[in-house]
Each structure stands twice: as structure tokens, then as C-alpha cells.
Chain A
Amino acid sequence: MGIFSKLIRYGTIVAAPAGVVAILGIARLQAERQMPPAGDPPLPPAAKPYVQSVSATGILEALSENVSIGVPQAGLVTEVKVKVNESVKIGDVLFRLDDRDLRAQEVSAKARLEVARANIAVSEAQLGKTKSQLARLSAVSDPRAVSVEDLENRRQDVAVVTAQLDSARAGVSAVEGELKSLTLLIDRLTVRAPRDGTVIQVNIRGGEYAATAPKEPAMIIGETDRLQVRADVDEQNATRIRPGQRGRASLKGDPSVNFPLDFVRVEPYVIPKASLTGAGTERVDTRVLQVIFSLDRPENPPVYVGQQVDVFIEAPEH
């Protein structure tokens, strides 16, 4: 038997078991390379707080809504008195608008007041003069020395000057009234807090122009000690919602932060769902029922107005 035959005989006999071993190795390699089976996400999502619940997405708001501060008239802002996060009481000055035109009118009105007051003095002096003249003529006892006409003229003079004095006095009150209205108008340009709360957002700074119908409000004030959650429930789940149901919310970014919610009310009007992408071409294809819950602001970690939350509302399935 040749060396070639031997080589083939023993070569094939060795190669065959080697092939079986190799394919087993491949099977093992294949198993190693396989994607691990489906499991939990890297960060476990918020556990459902209730056995049967309706899920919704919500947004944190200040309790009793956020107040967008408006301006009485368009104008330049001269000074902003509050900072973001400052708490304000009702009537506190928030910011002032430019009032120089009104102040100028005030200055001229004040000058006119002086003129009017001087007019009174002139009229009073005149009255004194005509009165003394009348007194002097009246004191003459001999009717022949004084003509009746003269005497009557003097009397008329006194009446005229008395009327002039009244007119001058009315002039003063008129200017005073004008001054008062100017003061009120100037005061109107100082924007004050309409209620107690915290300044959540300031969109206006000194020197900027405040419009009466702005794209974003000049300032937002709200009660941030207690917050409320506005939860959007898909209309298909709306029938499961009843007043008084409990809720629990967790922050969208961090499911480990969660807090209990107290039912406040169900908004009676079902609205189109606010869009996610915000693109103008987006069409609305679903409407949502809004449910309002209130919550105490947790101290730690802090939560903020405007944050998105995942809400679970305890509601039985039917």
C-alpha cells in the first residue's frame, strides 16, 4: 500500500471526528454570540402603584394655574423689581413701564396749578379793591355827592370780581383733578402682583418693550408650595375615570422620584392632545380628558413647574 493511500485512509479517519468536534465548537460560539434574551430595561421603569390603573402623561403646574402677567398698555420697561423664584404678596410691585410722557404732563399741570392759584390771589385782591371802593361810596351820606349810577357800577364790579374769584377757584380744582388723574395713570404703569405667589418665569428685562399681546407673557406667577398635575387621559380610557380616584405620579426623567396625588377635578371639556413634535404640519388625531390632581411640593429631590410626569390613576377595568 502506497504512502498516498495511507495518508488518505488515516487522514479521513482523523478528519471526520475533528469535523464533529469543530461543529460542536461552532454551536458553542454561536450560542455565545447570540443576543441575550429579552429582559428588563437598564433602568427599571416606575412600578405600577395600583393593580388596576389608567396611565396618563401629565405636566406639573402651580396650584390654581399659572398666572401670566399682562401689561395695561404697550411700552418700554424701565425697571423690573422682582427676580425669578422670589415670592410676592398681593400688590407688590413687579415692574414699571416708562411713564415720562405722563410725568411731563404732570409737570405742566403743576405749573398751571400755580397759575390758577395766582389767579385766585389776583381775583381776591381785585375783590378787596372793588369792595373798598363800594364801601367808600356807600359811606357818603349825601345823595347828591354820589350818582346812583356810580354806586350801581361799583356794586356790579363787586359781583363780577366775586364771580371771577369763584372761576379762579374752579380753575384750581380742575388742574388739581387733572393732576390726580395723571397720578392714577402713572400708577397704572406700575404692574403689581395680582395674588400671592412665586415668580416662576420672567421674560422681560429693563429696557425691553412690553407688548399688550406678546408671544410669551412678561412674567408668570404661581403658587409653587403646592403644585398640581394636569394629566392627559386618552379618550378611549376616559370612561374609566371617576371623580375622587387616587393617583400617583413619577418624574419622566427619573422614575424613582414618585409622589401621591390628591384628586382635584376633571376638566369637563375634552381637548385635542397637545402635539409632541410641535411641527406645524402635525394633525391632531386624538383627544384627551384632562384630570387635575394636587400635590405637596416634595422637598428632596426638588421638582419644578413644567416638568413632565407619568401618572397612574387607580381605576378599575371593565
Chain B
Amino acid sequence: MFGLALKMLFGDTAKYLMLVAGLFFATFLIVQQASVFCGLMMWTSSTLKNVGAPIFVVEERVEQINEINPLRDTDVSRVRSVTAVRWAMPLYSGIQRVRLESGSFKTVQLLGIDAASLAGAPARMVEGNLEDLRLPNTVIIDELAVTRLSEDRNHPIQVGDRFEINDIEARVVGICKAMRSFTGGPYLWTTYERALQYTPPQRKMLSAVIAAPIDGMTADDAAAEITRKTGLRAYVNRGFGDNPGDFNTSTIWWYVRNTGIPISFGTTVVIGFIVGVAIACQTFYAFVLDNLTYLGALKAMGMSNARLSLMLVIQSATVGMIGFGIGLLATAGFAYAAIEHQQPPFVMPWQIPVVAFVVIQVICMMAALMGIFRLSLYEPAMVFRA
């Protein structure tokens, strides 16, 4: 019966191809768009990924990392004075403009970290030495900056090259790997004191205090303790999840609430689903109609409705799996290029393909159900009438 079902399925190449193509498009649209959406949302919290600190302390009403209300310099000492804190260091984060030798301007995301401990330093250096950041007028750039700040493709910016940030010299001493920012500017690391020199003076300059909990205490408890003792808002930095006290979660939800990004991506995913449903159901129904005489013959030969239904379910599930697999193959190709070039954003949590598989199978079952419905109305006697 199993072989018979597959033989029937593969027998009609045109309809088979149509079914697979429809499900392939549905899979590709759902998985790829959902992943790009996740990637884009992850970009909003890239500062939190690039500055590896368990706790971020910000001003009381700050909800997301890209919109910071600065603190006073002594707030570092206040956070440090909390018993639950093992260490606390200042962090500057802001958007600045870089002037290249050619005279053109580029926007960058400037990060200022504590010079002694280098807390918040890039985790993955490609070239250069992290400690060189203590030399005068030095910065560490990320790989995106290499493409952005270079004169042209043949003259990439290298360790030792110079440019200007607000008329002050900056010398590159290192290149690192970093996650891209939502605003598109490359990340530049320098020391906190120098970041203040690069930045036009403001009354308060400290963007955030990064901290770690004492041994034997979770970051969540320590963050709650900091909030209670200092009145500042302390977030933990683990990653997007269901914890509202996580800065990643808070940042991403801010973008979901305040921008049209989820609507636009959500629409595409829904369209993918609708396209899948329309093509699959319509084609499968046509397929069942075409093969109705054979199915009727089987019915007349005494095959039960249940067994015939099982045949249709096997057929649609097979088509679903093949379409889904090819969709994944196409998505993987897209993802590989995206991850290599870091653009467009692509982050695929395991839930996306799993949910997509379930969705595709649901589409297939809907199509099978329509076929089963049609078949159940078909009288075996009609085979002989034709």
C-alpha cells in the first residue's frame, strides 16, 4: 500500500513538482523571513553582545540599550559600593562620526571601556593586541569597520592607520570580530577617558555601568539588589528570553512595540503560509480528482476508507517533507551567504524550522483532508459507470 501510494504520487510528475514547489516556497518564505526578523531584532541588542558583562546598570527609566540617558561619574562608585557587586566599571556608548583621510564621513558606534581592567573589551581579536588600547589615541575597530573605513578594496584599513573622530586623532591598534549594530555603523572600542575626549562635552557622559555579581549570587539577584540600593535600573545580560529583567529582552520588546518591523515581517510569513495552503490544497485536490478512478477501483476492490485515507495522508506527508527539505536547502544557502557577509541579518533559533515543519505538515494535512472528503463521497460503483 505504501509503495502504491508513492507510485501514484510520483506518477504525475507535473502535479508532484507543483506540490513540492508550493511547499518549498512556503517553507522558504516562513523560515527565511522569520530568521531575518530574528536577526534584525538581535542586531538591536548587539551592543549587549559585544560588551560582555553580566549586569548593565542604566538610568532608572531606560528601556533599551540604544537609547541611553547618561549617569553621573560617581554612580560607578555607588554601584561598586553595593555588597552584591563583585566589580563595576564605567561604559560609554554613543554614535560618533569618523572623518577619513579622504575627507568623507562615516558614522560609528563608539564604545569606551575601563582602561585598567578592559572590562567590556572585544571578545574575539583578529589582529593586534588588546593591551595596546592603553597607548595614546588608540582604537580597536571591528571587521565591518575595515570595509567601511577603507579607502577602497585594494587599500584596506590596517593596524597602524589613522583617522579622526571629532578632530582628534585615532590610531588603529587592533581589529576584532563584533556583531553588527542596528544602526549599521561599525563598532569602535577605546578607553572610557578617551571616549569622553572624542565626544563633545555634555553634562553627564557615563552611558552605563557594567558589573558582575559576587560569587555564589545570580546576576538576577544582584541586579535586583543594585536597583534597590542605588535607585538605578540594573538589567542582566543573558540573551532574549522571557525574563523582563534581561536587557536583551527589554530592548527587543521595545523595538517590537515601537517600530513596524514585526508587522512587515509577520505579513510576509502569513503570505508564505497562505501561498502554501492555496497551492498545496488546490494541487492536491486536482491530483486526487485525477486519480479518483484508480482510488475508486481500489475502493471497489474492497479497500476500506481508512486505508485509502492513510494512502492520501502518506502522499501529502511525503510531499510536505520533500518540499520542506528543499525549502531548508534554499534557506541554508541564503543563510550561509548572510552569515559569511554578516548581512542581511540572519539568526535562526531552533524553534523556527520546527514550527515551520509543523505548519507545512498542517498545510499538507488540510490538503489530504480535502482529498479524503472528496474520496469518501465517491461511490465504488461509479468506476464501472465510466
Which B residues lie within 8 Å of A34 (CB)?
A: 49
**With contact pairs A26-B335, A36-B52 given, residues A236 and B78 touching in the complex (Cβ less than 8 Å):** yes
* A26 partner, pick from B72, B123, B321, B336, beta carbons under 8 A: B336
- CB contacts under 8 Å to B, within A226-240, are 232-234, 236-237, 240
Known: A19-B325, A276-B193, A276-B196. 6 other contacts (CB 8 A): A27-B348, A44-B117, A47-B86, A54-B81, A273-B74, A288-B74
Residues of B with C-beta under 8 A to A281: 201
Q: Which residues of chain A are near B124, meaning CB under 8 Å? A: 35-36
Contacts of A12 in B (CB 8 A): 16, 20, 322, 326
Alpha-carbon distance A41/B323, docked complex (angstroms): 47
**Chain B: CB-nearest residue to A42:** B118
B80 engages A42 (CB within 8 Å): no
Q: Which residues of B contact A55 (CB under 8 A)?
A: 76-78, 80-81, 88
Q: List residues of chain B with CB within 8 A of the CB of A300.
A: none
Asked whether A174 is an interface residue with its Cβ less than 8 Å from the other chain, the reply is no
Q: Distance in Å from the Cβ of A20 to the closest Cβ of chain B?
A: 6
Q: Mark A1-31, 1 if CB is under 8 A from B, else 0.
A: 0101100110011011111101101110110
Pick from A13, A35, A46, A54: contact of B52, CB under 8 Å = A35
Contact A41 B73 (CB under 8 A): no
In the bound complex, how far is the Cα of B330 from the Cα of A8, in angstroms? 16
Say how far B108's CB is from chain A's closest CB, in angstroms. 19
Distance in angstroms between the alpha carbons of A260 and B286 in the assembled complex = 87
A15-B329 CB under 8 A given contacts A27-B350, A283-B203: yes
Interface check A38, CB cutoff 8 A: yes
Chain A residues within 8 Å of B83, by CB? 51-53, 317
Which A270-318 residues have a C-beta within 8 angstroms of B?
273, 276-277, 279, 281-283, 285-286, 288, 317
Contact B120 A16 (CB under 8 A): no
Assign chain B's interface to a size class: 35 or more
- Within B174-199, the residues touching A (CB, 8 Å) are 178-179, 193, 196-197
Q: Is A255 an interface residue (CB 8 A)?
A: yes
- Bound Cα distance A245, B86 (Å): 21
**B336 with A29: CB separation less than 8 A:** yes
| 9 intermolecular pairs with C-beta atoms under 8 Å apart | A8-B17, A9-B13, A15-B322, A16-B325, A22-B333, A26-B336, A33-B339, A38-B238, A45-B119
Cβ contacts under 8 Å, B353 to chain A: 23
B322 touches A16 (CB 8 A): yes
Q: Complex: how many Å from CA A232 to CA B77?
A: 10
Within the complex, the shortest CB–CB distance from B269 to chain A, in Å, comes to 17
Tally of contact residues, A, Cβ under 8 A: 64
Residues of chain B in range 56-96 having any CB-CB distance to chain A below 8 Å? 72-78, 80-83, 86-89
Closest to B119 in A: A41
A172 touches B (CB below 8 Å): no
Instruction: Give Cα A2 to B13, complex, Å.
Output: 10
A23 touches B78 (CB 8 A): no
Q: Report the bound CA distance from A317 to B82 in whole Å.
A: 8
Q: Which chain B residue shows the least CB distance to A55? A: B80
Q: Does A43 contact B (CB under 8 A)?
A: yes
Max chain B Cβ within 10 angstroms of own Cβ: one of A5, A38, A39, A240: A38
Q: Cβ of A279: which chain B residues have Cβ within 8 Å of it?
A: 201
Q: How far is the CA of A18 from the CA of B322 in the complex (A)?
A: 10
| 8 A Cβ contacts from B104-158 to A | 114-121, 123-124, 130
Bound complex: CA A294 to CA B214 (Å): 29
| Cα(A38)–Cα(B219), bound, Å | 11
Docked CA distance A46–B179 (Å): 29
Known contacts A16-B324, A20-B325, A41-B121; A234/B130 CB under 8 A = no
- Which of these, B81, B87, B327, contacts A45 with CB under 8 Å? B87
Cα separation A206 to B294 with both chains bound (whole Å): 116
Q: For the complex, is A71 an interface residue (Cβ under 8 Å from B)?
A: no
